[in-house]
């Protein structure tokens, strides 16, 4: 057998040995990791592991082929085509490896984003993610291409400068649309409110009907349709009443100063009974807080475990009715802003002066 044949057999053996090692190691490692992932709830880690193993196999095969090829070139002088051919082959191997890694990164990134949104139950944002998939994939591919070019010795300064110039030009030309789009994404992903929730923005109080790329639509309490720019909406404070786990209600009432001490001591219990008789209200406290100018003031607090504004108003009304009814039965008078003047009669004053003189 010729020297070339022997070298070819050795290189082929090395390549096959490398492929066999890759297959055995991936199979053993895959089985061990699969047993670990089966113990965890969900299938996200299973899919991630399959994606990694699927990508690792061809990268391992390429490495085995490259090992065999370098062995053959080192033994057979005829195949030594020079540095230029070697660099081309090395670049081709690196390019294929980067392609495989970029595909893996795209799959892993989109899978993690999808599972995160599903876990947070943000189904409306899944549609946005589907629309952004081409942009995300393109961004990862561009990064992979830049890594490849930099590895090949390409002067990246000019490319970065061109990209920066193009980015500045596009940014100036598309400032308005890009700003609107970013505000839209902020509302979708940060979720300061959702469609159907009751919010307050400046003097606007109403229910969110829709969120668009440029503006948000709110149906006010009086019925009119109000359209607000997303930029203006995110630039100010938004009060979201639809995201309340429970609503805290604090109310102050006053009774007249002529109320007896026993009655004053009994008022907290009377208020508590009135609140507890109107579920789902949850009583918190009631206290005699201060001596006001024209009233003895009591503050009571209760919670309504629902964000519905109509339910809150209904329960509040029933509690107020119950307190009024209880106070009427107990002959407790509500106070109102007033002043009482105590005047002495002229006869009484004259009598007091005569007694003092006598």
- Domain shared by 75 and 88, yes or no: yes
In the predicted model, what is the mean pLDDT of residues 161-178? Answer: 66
pLDDT at 79 over 60: no
- Domain shared by 12 and 161, yes or no: yes
On whether the CB atoms of residues 129 and 109 are closer than 8 A, the answer is no
The phi, psi pair for 285, rounded to 5°, reads -165, 165
- Domain shared by 139 and 25, yes or no: yes
Please report which helix (H) or strand (E) contains residue 1, including its range. none
Q: How confident is the model at residue 80 (pLDDT cuts 50, 70, 90)?
A: low
Give me the DSSP letters along 13-42.
HHHHHHHHHHHHHHHHHHHHHHHHHHTSSS
* Range of 7-21, 24-38, 177-191, 317-331 with top mean pLDDT: 317-331
pLDDT at 167 over 80: no
The per-residue pLDDT for 322 is 96
Q: 280 is in which domain, residue-wise?
A: 247-329
- Domain shared by 308 and 233, yes or no: no
More confident residue, 209 or 356: 209
- Residue of 261, 275, 284, 357 whose CA lies nearest to 321: 275
The per-residue pLDDT for 119 is 73
Read off the pLDDT of residues 132-158 as tens digits, 9 standing for 90 and up.
778 788 888 888 888 888 877 777 676
User: What's 308's domain CATH number?
Assistant: 3.30.70.100
Residue 145, both tokens: 């291409």
- Domain shared by 198 and 158, yes or no: no
% residues pLDDT > 90 (the chain): 23
- Domain shared by 191 and 67, yes or no: no
- Domain shared by 211 and 102, yes or no: no
- Domain shared by 205 and 254, yes or no: no
What does pLDDT average to over the chain?
A: 81
Measure the CA–CA gap between 56 and 101, rounded to whole angstroms: 9
Q: Which residues pair with 297 in a beta bridge?
A: 254, 290
Read off the pLDDT of residues 306-358 as tens digits, 9 standing for 90 and up.
877 788 889 999 999 999 999 999 999 999 876 666 565 555 555 554 554 44
- Domain shared by 46 and 107, yes or no: yes
The answer to the question of residue 317 being in a domain is: yes
Measure the CA–CA gap between 256 and 337, rounded to whole angstroms: 10
Measure the CA–CA gap between 357 and 246, rounded to whole angstroms: 72
Q: Report CA dihedral (269, 272, 274, 277) to the nearest 10 degrees.
A: -120
% residues pLDDT > 70 (the chain): 80
Measure the CA–CA gap between 99 and 147, rounded to whole angstroms: 11
The per-residue pLDDT for 152 is 76
In the predicted model, what is the mean pLDDT of residues 57-80? Answer: 73
Asked whether the bond before 46 is cis by omega within 30 degrees of 0, the reply is no
- Domain shared by 128 and 210, yes or no: no
Which of 242, 258, 277 represents a domain boundary (last residue)? 242
- Domain shared by 167 and 22, yes or no: yes
- Domain shared by 16 and 119, yes or no: yes
For 176-196, the three-class secondary structure string (H helix, E strand, C coil) is HHHHHHHHHHHHHHHCCCCCC
Q: Is the pTM of this model over 0.95?
A: no
User: What's 225's domain CATH number?
Assistant: 2.30.30.60
């Amino acid at each position: 057998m010729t020297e070339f044949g022997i070298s070819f057999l050795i290189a082929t053996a090395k390549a096959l040995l490398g492929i066999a090692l890759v297959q055995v190691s991936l199979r053993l490692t895959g089985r061990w990791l699969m047993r670990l992932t089966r113990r965890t709830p969900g299938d996200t880690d299973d899919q991630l592991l399959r994606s990694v193993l699927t990508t690792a196999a061809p990268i391992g095969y390429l490495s085995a082929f490259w090992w065999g090829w370098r062995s053959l070139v080192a033994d057979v002088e005829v195949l030594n085509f020079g540095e230029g051919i070697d660099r081309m082959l090395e670049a081709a191997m690196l390019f294929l490896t980067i392609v495989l890694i970029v595909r893996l990164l795209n799959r892993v990134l989109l899978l993690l984003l999808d599972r995160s949104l599903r876990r947070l139950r943000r189904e409306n944002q899944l549609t946005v993610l589907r629309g952004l998939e081409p942009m995300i994939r393109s961004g990862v591919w561009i990064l992979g291409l830049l890594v490849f070019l930099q590895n090949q010795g390409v002067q990246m300064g000019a490319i970065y400068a061109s990209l920066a110039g193009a980015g500045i030009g596009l940014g100036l030309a598309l400032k308005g649309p890009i700003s609107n789009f970013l505000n839209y994404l902020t509302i979708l992903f940060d979720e300061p409110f959702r469609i159907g929730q009751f919010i307050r923005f400046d003097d606007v109080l109403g229910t969110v009907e829709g969120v668009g790329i440029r503006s948000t639509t709110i149906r006010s309490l009086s019925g009119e349709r109000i359209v607000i720019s997303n930029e203006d909406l995110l630039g100010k404070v938004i009060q979201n009443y639809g995201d309340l786990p429970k609503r805290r209600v604090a109310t102050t009432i006053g009774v007249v100063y002529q109320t007896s001490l026993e009655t004053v001591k009994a008022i907290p219990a009377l208020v508590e009974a009135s609140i507890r008789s109107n579920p789902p209200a949850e009583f918190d406290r009631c206290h005699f807080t201060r001596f006001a100018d024209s009233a003895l003031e009591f503050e009571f607090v209760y919670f309504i475990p629902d964000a519905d504004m109509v339910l809150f108003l209904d329960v509040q009304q029933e509690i107020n009715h119950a307190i009024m009814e209880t106070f009427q039965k107990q002959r407790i008078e509500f106070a109102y802003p007033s002043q009482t003047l105590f005047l002495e009669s002229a006869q009484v004053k004259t009598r007091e002066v005569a007694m003092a003189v006598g």
